[in-house]
């Protein structure tokens, strides 16, 4: 069971959601492309720290760039190019993996390909991470529509931030999807806090169904 975690935007909470999913699904983590390794900890390093007590694998990035820019621009600055034929699911001894994208689904990887193309190439179902605050309905529904137009299967949405019942219901209605879970801010971000926050039955059900189908 492998899942691609994407978001409606950058800095939307994909990395924390990915770590949380890894803990509760006993999954490995892989971020194929990372931009911004010079300024702060990479997403892989953040996840590794959060999973340290869970003893699960974090797979090294295939491409990692120093500047915090769109991957295609970061690659150009460093005189490189992201080659899609080099991006394949790593072989591990774990049948479960969470793959985290970079930015939103139309973030460019090179002159021709976007994160959406990577999703199709890896042939993975998607969980969409969305903020819970004002503006999320439009951004989330636009992203869901784009994913459908690309024939990419969507398991559902995880909303990140203070619970907002009105936005949740609107996303489910107008986005024609299921909000699998709602993650509020953690008082302390560590392995213990993520482990204590159990996934909803909606999320468990979607993952169990995915395991059966795939």
Q: Residue 150 CB: number of other CB atoms within 10 A?
A: 14
31 tagged catalytic: yes
**What is the spatial distance between Cα 214 and Cα 210, in angstroms, rounded to a whole number?**
6
Chain centre to alpha carbon of residue 135: 20
3-state SS, residue 30: strand
User: Tokens 């949380």 appear where?
Assistant: 20
For the chain, how many helices (H) and strands (E)? 8, 9
Out of 14, 31, 56, 168, pick the active-site residue: 31
Quote the CA–CA distance of 151 and 100 in Å, as a whole number. 19
Instruction: Give catalytic residues, as residue numbers.
Output: 31
């Amino acid at each position: 069971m492998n899942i691609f975690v994407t978001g409606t935007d950058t800095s939307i909470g994909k990395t924390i959601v990915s770590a949380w999913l890894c803990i509760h699904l006993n999954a490995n983590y892989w971020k194929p492309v990372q931009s911004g390794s010079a300024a702060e900890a990479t997403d892989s390093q953040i996840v590794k720290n959060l999973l340290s007590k869970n003893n699960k694998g974090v797979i090294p990035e295939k491409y990692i760039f120093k500047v915090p820019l769109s991957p295609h621009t970061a690659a150009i600055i460093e005189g490189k190019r992201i080659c899609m034929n080099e991006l394949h699911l790593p072989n591990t001894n774990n049948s479960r993996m969470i793959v985290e994208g970079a930015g939103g689904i139309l973030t460019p990887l090179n002159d021709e390909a976007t994160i959406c193309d990577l999703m199709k190439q890896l042939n993975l179902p998607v969980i969409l991470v969305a903020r819970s605050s004002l503006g999320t309905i439009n951004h989330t529904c636009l992203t869901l529509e784009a994913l459908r137009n690309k024939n990419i299967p969507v398991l559902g949405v995880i909303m990140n931030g203070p619970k907002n019942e009105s936005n949740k219901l609107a996303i489910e209605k107008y986005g024609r999807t299921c909000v699998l879970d709602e993650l509020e801010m953690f008082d302390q971000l560590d392995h213990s806090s993520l482990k204590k926050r159990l996934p909803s039955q909606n999320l468990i059900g979607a993952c169990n169904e995915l395991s059966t189908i795939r």
